[in-house]
Structure 1
Amino acid sequence: MTISYPFDLLAGFPGWSTEFDLLWRQEQSRQANGVTRVKDFGSPLWRGTFQSRSMRPNELDEWRARLDAMENGLQQFRARSLSRCYPMAYPNGTGMGTVSAAAINTINANRKSITVKGLPAGFQWRVGDMLQIGTRNLHRIQEAAAAGGTGVTGAFEIRPPLWPETAVNDPVTVVRPSCLMTVVPGSVSSTADLQTGRGSISFQALESR
């Protein structure tokens, strides 16, 4: 069967995302009076570091092959923070209800604050939860939010700010929110132990727009 992209590289990944943060595309200039001025050169991008547990030789070779399919950064995969597959209030999705109809309800003029509709009544987001808007835009929640009886939340801030393509009624993904990434060239490490053949996989990745 032909491999299709973006590849679901992290499906069943036997490890963790040890880092998952924003890479700010900025210029900084420090003045003589001690003030540091910062200028944006574009919206920030997500970057991640992924580390597996120790694996037996056969499993290690399987994951080496999966990473080969990324062609050292040529191909995209769906990436997510592995600690944020579900909102904090609903471990493994327990008690969350149906969230497949979630969508953007309103957008603040500053493009940093939204409300969301189509959620179960009483649904909760906590600071640090993540959501995906549309097919590729990943955001981290900065303020706690809850859906009222009509399934609409109050306004809450997210980062990074909304991308220009984002509009009212765009779908919101609550479960396993993701963005598109590529492997940072040369970052894959898969050294095995000489005596046992066991080893682990680690690699870095950067959002690919």
Structure 2
Amino acid sequence: MAITFPRPMPEAGAARQTFELGRRDFLSPETGGRVGSIAVGPPVWVAEWSLGQGGPRRADEWVAFVDSLEGSKRLFVGRDLSRPYPLAYQDTALAGLTRAAGGAFNGAASAWSIDTDDDGAPILVLSGLPAFFRLSRRDYVGFRWTTEGVERRALVRLAKDYTGTGEGWGLLPIQPAVPSIVPPTATAHFDLPGCLMRLIPDKTVIGAMDRRLAPAVTVAAIQDLLP
């Protein structure tokens, strides 16, 4: 059976993880003491996953995953493994929820748009959510769409706790802003949100085996913002 790309993450979880925004900013001190800041390109997600003493089967799954990506050539869907669903719904995986307007909730908003608050910070406006949908800081909203038949993904994260309205609306404070490459036809969703990533080859290491014949594995990756 052929492997399709972008690949999902291995089902065997990692023992340690870093999943954070990488910002490319330059500081420009002025003679009067002020410090200017210039962003060079949009922020992107940067991640690292490391296995612990999980045994050879777990290591085999990750080694095969790394092999299939051919260094940085192939794409995969990278995720924060600690947040497959919003924190309030981790135990149920969003099962059993209904939209405020009626009908089963499948994890995706009915519609979305973008706005800003009074300070210019990004706000994601969603409709079609369950009534009083509970979200926590560090929950994620994913975006998925296809370009010429190829899957695309992007990802934003909540900056603070938020509870939606009884009518199923949400005005979510997020970081970063929704990337400009995300088309208005994309689906905004809360189930297994992720983004397209490529391996960082010089930081991805398949190390020595322990006495159980399980190699140490560290996988490093960076987001690729593909339209």
Distance in 1, matches of 2:93 and 2:181, equals 32
Gaps spanning 5+ residues in structure 2: where?
98-104, 146-152
Q: Which amino acid aligns with 1:121?
A: A
Which deviations, in whole Å up to 9, do the C-alpha atoms of 1:154-191 show, x marking residues without a partner? x2211111222446564211011000001101222222
Which deviations, in whole Å up to 9, do the C-alpha atoms of 1:110-145 show, x marking residues without a partner? 571122111111211111111112341200111322
Contact conserved, 1:180 with 1:207, CA < 8 A, in 2? yes
Distance in 1, matches of 2:183 and 2:214, equals 48
Partner of 2:34: 35
Partner of 1:3: 3
Contact conserved, 2:135 with 2:162, CA < 8 A, in 1? yes
Distance in 1, matches of 2:192 and 2:26, equals 32
If the length of structure 2 is used for normalisation, what is the TM-score? 0.80
Contact conserved, 1:121 with 1:148, CA < 8 A, in 2? yes
Contact conserved, 1:134 with 1:172, CA < 8 A, in 2? yes
Partner of 1:138: 155
Aligned-residue identity in percent: 24
Distance in 1, matches of 2:112 and 2:204, equals 41
Q: Which amino acid aligns with 1:132?
A: G
Seen in structure 2, the aligned counterparts of structure 1 residues 159 and 62 have a Cα distance that, compared at 3 Å, is: closer
Partner of 1:182: 198
1:152 aligns with one of 142, 147, 169: 169
Partner of 1:173: 189
If the length of structure 1 is used for normalisation, what is the TM-score? 0.86
Q: Which amino acid aligns with 1:139?
A: V
Contact conserved, 2:205 with 2:219, CA < 8 A, in 1? yes
Gaps spanning 5+ residues in structure 1: where?
none
Distance in 2, matches of 1:101 and 1:56, equals 36
Seen in structure 2, the aligned counterparts of structure 1 residues 147 and 168 have a Cα distance that, compared at 3 Å, is: farther
Partner of 1:129: 139
Q: RMSD between aligned alpha carbons?
A: 2.3
Contact conserved, 1:16 with 1:82, CA < 8 A, in 2? no
Contact conserved, 1:137 with 1:178, CA < 8 A, in 2? yes
Partner of 1:80: 79
Shifted more, 77-86 versus 185-194: the winner is 185-194
